[in-house]
Amino acid sequence: MNEILEKISHCVEFGKINKASPYPPDMKGQEGADELAKLALESGIKPGEILDDALIPAMSVVGDKFSKKQIYVPQMLMAAKAMSAAMEHLKPFFVSGETRRKGKFIIGTVHGDLHDIGKNLVSMMIEGGGWEVIDLGVNVSTDKFLKAIGENPDAIVGLSALLTTTMENMKNTVSAIKEKHSDLIVLVGGAPVTMDFCLQIGADFYSPDPQGAVSYLNKLVS
């Protein structure tokens, strides 16, 4: 693999955002995903190559390590931030349509729920997996989900809930989505959510972690 791509991959896997970032300590003072992604583009490497050969494989390793409990949330957040720093340089190319994405994914934390750390991780991992992510934020009403679906009818939708009390809102939103768009695929997740609950409320898939969601989405388009 190209040396710059290898370095970008390493930065994402180990959460090196940019040169100024002191994390991880053994990479202090070195260039991070931010500078290296810019350098890669300036060297003529295509945005799609940076995404497919460096960012996605690195995030996939990170997701696998997280699933196996070899790393924890802070490391995963740093990796996601490093990936986001690189993605900032690639976004203009994706937005212009120069590089194709796998599809659109609408995500939000359900109404009444303000927890967004897990949702943001899922969002970033899915974006790193090559999808265009429309992140509606937290406390997202059913109407807001429906509006976003109306504007992006080809999207897949993901709902996150962290409170047992907001699981009821997740159920209501899924019902409303399925009533209007019966073929639309809906993923659910969040600490209190289970596969049983997912099936009970008529959602299509439950993943306990971001990597499971990425794998599920990728299988849909493979």
Q: Which positions lie near ligand B1M, rule CB under 6 A? A: 73, 107, 112-119, 121-122, 158-160, 162-165, 187-192, 207, 209-210, 213
What are the two backbone dihedrals, phi and then psi, of residue 133, each rounded to the nearest 5 degrees? -105, 130
Report, in Å, the least distance between residue 186 CB and ligand B1M: 9
The contacts of residue 114 (CB under 8 Å, 6+ apart) are 138, 139
- Least distance from ligand B1M to the Cβ atom of residue 72, Å: 9
- For residues 190 and 206, give the distance between their C-alpha atoms in angstroms, rounded to a whole number: 9
Q: Residue 106 forms beta bridges with which residues? A: 134, 157
Return the number of the residue (2 or 67) whose C-beta is nearest ligand B1M: 67
| N- to C-terminal Cα separation, the chain | 24
Residue 91 CB, nearest distance to ligand B1M (Å)? 22
216: left (phi over 0), alpha (psi -120 to 50) or beta: alpha
Distance CA 64, CA 33 (A): 20
As measured in angstroms, the least distance from the Cβ of 205 to ligand B1M is 8
At closest approach, how far in Å is the CB of 132 from ligand B1M?
15
- Tell me how far, at minimum, the Cβ of 191 lies from ligand B1M, in Å: 4
Contact 52, 130 (CB under 8 A): yes
Q: Which C-beta is closer to ligand B1M: that of 90 or that of 214?
A: 214
Nearest residue to ligand B1M by CB is 118
Query: What's the CA gap between 27 and 38, in Å, rounded?
Result: 18
The residue among 14 and 206 lying less far from ligand B1M, judged by its C-beta, is 206
Q: Are 68 and 141 in contact (CB under 8 A)?
A: no
Give 41 or 186: the residue with its C-beta nearer to ligand B1M.
Answer: 186
CB 206 within 8 Å of CB 121: no
Judged by beta carbon, residue 20 or residue 191, the one nearer ligand B1M is 191
Q: Which is nearer to ligand B1M, 9 or 123 (CB)?
A: 123
